[in-house]
Amino acid sequence: MSLIVYIRNNFSFPNLLCLVLVSMLLLVSPAYGAEEPPFKPLPLPLGEIVTYTSDKFLVPPDSLAGGDFIIATTPPAIDFAFYPEQTYDGNPWSVWGDNIMVDDKWYSAIGDHIWNCYLYEYDPSTQKLRTVLDVQKLLNMPEGHYTPAKVHSRIDLGRDGWLYFSTHRGSSKYTTDEYYYKGDWILRFNPKTQKGEVVSHGPVGKESIPVGQLDPDRLIFYGGTQQSKLFFAYDTTNHELLYKSAENEGPYRYMMFSKSTGYVYFLPEDYAPLKRFNPATKTVTEIDAKIGLRSSTLETPQGYIYTVATGGDGSLFRFNVKTEQAEKIGNAALTGPGYKTRAYVTTIDADPTGTFLYYCAGNAHGHSEQGGTPVVQFNVNTGEKKVIAFLYPFFEQKHHYIPEGTFGSVLSSDGDTLYITWMGRRTDKVQTKRTEWYCAMTAIHIPESER
């Protein structure tokens, strides 16, 4: 009885009504004790490759009708598969790092955003997609110790034949002393021997390493960290830290590397003073060039690196590695009379001739399907944007899967196939979490007439 009196004396009717409604929500919310639906297998056996060619790939959504682009006249053939290891609900299953081709095989990585991440190999000659490295098994940490849930860096090939990459946390709640966090890892994998190794654990202390790129000739791994926003250079041969910046001076999410000069460029945010690291002198110098740098290509035969700015219309820049000058050459975004521009482009590739750039002109963090999940070819000489395929709604209709965004892509050595790792939403399954994604791959075979 005393509780009733307390409530009557201390709560007005509106407040009391609010209290009752909140209590009812807590009782029915899955986050407060109700069991979530059991895992439902993906609608295609994991790793099984299916191939499609369809004119539907060339049909834009109504919102983009009459937009600032052209559409290819010949549809591509597209290989599609769900990645192995996705036998339970991740939080979410996701891709955050860039990809590479080695001897015409494609290497990519995904993680569950909890405790696990994996490296994969796809052989287009046999159409086999397989797991080649389980990072948690490689690290073999004691039970309850932190293990990374992402490969957020580039995957790069060194002259020694090893692939190099760095790891990154899933949830920040695990990067604490409670989980024995000592910092993230630089790892390597040998495609020929199928062996994985630890290069360094915590090269700059208790820092996650979402940004990473290898100088393949000098075998220097360049990294950027999450917690203190450091830039560092690590000698992978001698296991020696060559350089560490002050806090808040490191790269935002990407870097530019010039293979012809050996210089690496970075900035803490778009249009901040560009910084150049010289490995010969181990010094950083500010460069008088204004540029956006959320993603970048490798250096082209002409000595250019192409970059995309963060958000907005996705301003595209061309950086001359000889003169160290940058110029804007266009916008990555597609525009249409009924389309809200989305241009968060986190991976971009240049073809072997240095003429065409390829990317998904949507939002890497999701909702690219609002523009049909368009895969774009950009001509750096003319500024023309051409959509080579709209992936939505085709794969939703075929496999109940909506490709929503990507952080990982790579072009084949001859420029005829674009490989992309997708984060996407299932429509055959009740969504119990906002971040409930799964990962799929596409190999988009670009018709010769469109190249």
Sign of the dihedral through C-alpha 396, 399, 404, 409? negative
Give the pLDDT confidence score for residue 32 in this predicted structure. Answer: 37
Give the pLDDT confidence score for residue 268 in this predicted structure. Answer: 95
Give the pLDDT confidence score for residue 343 in this predicted structure. Answer: 87
Q: Both 14 and 147 in a single domain?
A: no
Q: Both 41 and 9 in a single domain?
A: no
Q: Both 343 and 298 in a single domain?
A: yes
Q: Both 249 and 134 in a single domain?
A: yes
Q: Both 107 and 14 in a single domain?
A: no
Question: Where do we find the tokens 């830290």?
Answer: 241
Q: Both 17 and 101 in a single domain?
A: no
CA distance 389 to 375: 5
Give the pLDDT confidence score for residue 146 in this predicted structure. Answer: 97
Q: CA-CA distances (angstroms) from residue 85 to 93, 145, 236, 309?
A: 10, 21, 30, 33
Give the pLDDT confidence score for residue 342 in this predicted structure. Answer: 73
Expressed as residue numbers, the domain containing 40 is 36-450
Nearest Cα neighbor of 297 from 237, 344, 244, 256 is 256
Give the pLDDT confidence score for residue 35 in this predicted structure. Answer: 59
Q: Both 23 and 169 in a single domain?
A: no
Q: Both 289 and 374 in a single domain?
A: yes
pTM of the model: 0.92
Give the pLDDT confidence score for residue 18 in this predicted structure. Answer: 43
Give the pLDDT confidence score for residue 36 in this predicted structure. Answer: 62
User: What phi and psi, each to the nearest 5 degrees, are found at residue 156?
Assistant: -125, 150
Q: CA-CA distances (angstroms) from residue 40 to 37, 254, 438, 440?
A: 8, 36, 12, 16
Q: Both 20 and 50 in a single domain?
A: no
CATH number of the domain where residue 425 is located: 2.130.10.10
Token readout for 317 is 């820049």
Going by C-beta distance under 8 Å and a sequence separation of 6 or more, which residues neighbour residue 321?
A: 258, 260, 261, 263, 299, 303, 304, 305
Q: Both 167 and 257 in a single domain?
A: yes
- Tell me which residues of the chain have a pLDDT lower than 50: 1-34
Q: Both 5 and 138 in a single domain?
A: no
Query: Exposure of 350 by Cβ count < 10 A (0-12 exposed, 13-18 middle, 19+ buried)?
Result: buried
Count of structural domains within the chain: 2
- State the first-to-last Cα distance of the chain, in angstroms, to the nearest integer: 80
Q: Both 24 and 46 in a single domain?
A: no
Sheet holding 211-215, edge to edge: 211-215, 220-224, 231-235, 240-244
